[in-house]
């Protein structure tokens, strides 16, 4: 079979290079005996220059039209030369409708990387596809009621070529990587208050305020005095994240309120043989044992108690991390997930 993989370019990368995840997915398909090509797409507003962005804002919409036409022509050239039997969309967020309309003449597998309930715009692609693999388990029934398509839940899993264990000194007590959703901010402010009192080494990583405007930092610091002490406000690439997990005694995994299935971070942390604490309410659907492979917390009070407990119990952390690592390696790596999909 000839498969064309369509996926977004990595964030903040203006070249046409695919992400490591996309490359490793392609390598797995090739190992199964298939021919594979990759097409990456971008977004005009992220790819254009500062000057073009200013022109676009005042009404020069033709700039985006020309950008999309060039991208569509690149796709046409690949399809006409490669003649794929099937197209796999690895992530549709940011994908332009003009692209999906063109490839609708092919068999299309859509691999959702987020919930359609969270990103309603994803549903516009569904009438054009032949099969769907969901990121969020609840999406399966939701979509089956609306569309007569083969729809199945399969988690994203982890990239085992990036997230793997290396023996490191665990010099970070607590790490959290993510975006500043309200439920996370309020909880982390309390944790960071205790971190200041107990002298814990904490790292909060990600884009928590707009660093292009200097006053945003001071607004954030004024509103969240404890949290701001530990925030490293920047983009972290996947290799940095893997290293942070390896160095941390406790990796916090605080899901957004809309997600009930395991997020990719769950598997990434386990794959580095690191210990994590995740909020209650998530469902593993048989891919992990949430009582053995990680720890969970009910509320703020419970989380603080468990942080204090596990910081003092190295061997218990190691035992749980070892269990999580074995479970992820058994069926939650990219290779295992791709093989499950194509079995």
Note down pLDDT in tens along the chain; length 343 residues: 999 999 998 765 556 678 888 998 899 899 989 999 999 998 877 777 777 777 877 888 888 888 889 999 999 999 999 999 999 999 888 888 889 889 999 999 999 888 888 787 888 888 889 999 998 898 998 898 888 889 999 998 999 999 999 998 999 999 999 999 888 999 999 999 999 999 999 999 999 998 878 888 999 999 999 999 999 999 899 999 999 999 999 999 998 877 788 999 999 999 999 999 999 989 899 999 999 999 999 999 999 999 999 999 999 999 999 999 999 999 999 889 988 887 7
Reading the block at residue 293, the tokens are: 């492979």
CA distance 192 to 196: 6
132: part of which helix (H) or strand (E)? strand 131-134
∠ CA(315), CA(317), CA(321), 5° rounding? 115
Cα angle 122-337-175, degrees, rounded to a multiple of 5: 80
Rounded Cα distance, 216 and 310, in Å = 35
Token digits of residue 29:
């398909």
Give the pLDDT score at 258.
Answer: 75
pLDDT at 55: 81
Q: What is the pTM of this model?
A: 0.87
């Amino acid at each position: 079979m000839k498969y064309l993989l369509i996926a977004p370019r990595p964030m903040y990368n203006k070249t046409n290079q695919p992400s490591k995840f996309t490359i490793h997915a392609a390598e797995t398909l090739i190992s199964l005996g298939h021919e594979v090509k990759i097409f990456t797409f971008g977004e005009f507003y992220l790819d254009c220059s500062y000057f073009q962005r200013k022109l676009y804002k005042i009404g020069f919409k033709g700039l985006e039209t020309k950008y999309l036409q060039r991208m569509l022509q690149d796709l046409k050239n690949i399809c006409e030369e490669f003649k794929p039997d099937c197209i796999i969309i690895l992530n549709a967020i940011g994908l332009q409708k003009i692209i999906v309309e063109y490839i609708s003449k092919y068999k299309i597998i859509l691999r959702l990387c987020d919930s359609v309930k969270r990103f309603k715009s994803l549903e516009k692609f569904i009438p054009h596809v032949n099969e769907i693999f969901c990121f969020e388990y609840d999406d399966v029934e939701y979509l089956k009621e609306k569309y007569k398509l083969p729809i199945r839940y399969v988690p994203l899993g982890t990239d085992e070529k990036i997230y793997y264990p290396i023996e490191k000194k665990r010099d970070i007590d607590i790490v959290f990587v993510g975006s500043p959703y309200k439920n996370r901010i309020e909880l982390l402010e309390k944790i960071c208050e205790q971190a200041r009192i107990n002298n814990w080494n904490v790292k909060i990583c990600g884009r928590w305020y707009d660093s292009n405007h200097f006053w945003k930092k001071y607004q954030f610091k004024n509103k969240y005095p404890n949290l701001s002490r530990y925030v490293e406000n920047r983009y972290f690439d996947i290799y940095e994240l893997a290293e942070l997990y390896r160095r941390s005694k406790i990796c916090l995994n605080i899901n957004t309120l809309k997600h009930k299935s395991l997020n990719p971070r769950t598997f990434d942390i386990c794959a580095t043989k690191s210990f994590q604490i995740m909020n209650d309410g998530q469902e593993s659907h048989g891919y992990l044992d949430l009582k053995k492979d990680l720890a969970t917390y009910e509320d703020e009070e419970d989380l603080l108690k468990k942080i204090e407990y596990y910081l003092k119990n190295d061997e218990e952390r190691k035992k749980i991390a070892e269990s999580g690592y074995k479970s992820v390696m058994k069926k939650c790596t990219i290779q295992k997930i791709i093989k499950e999909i194509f079995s």
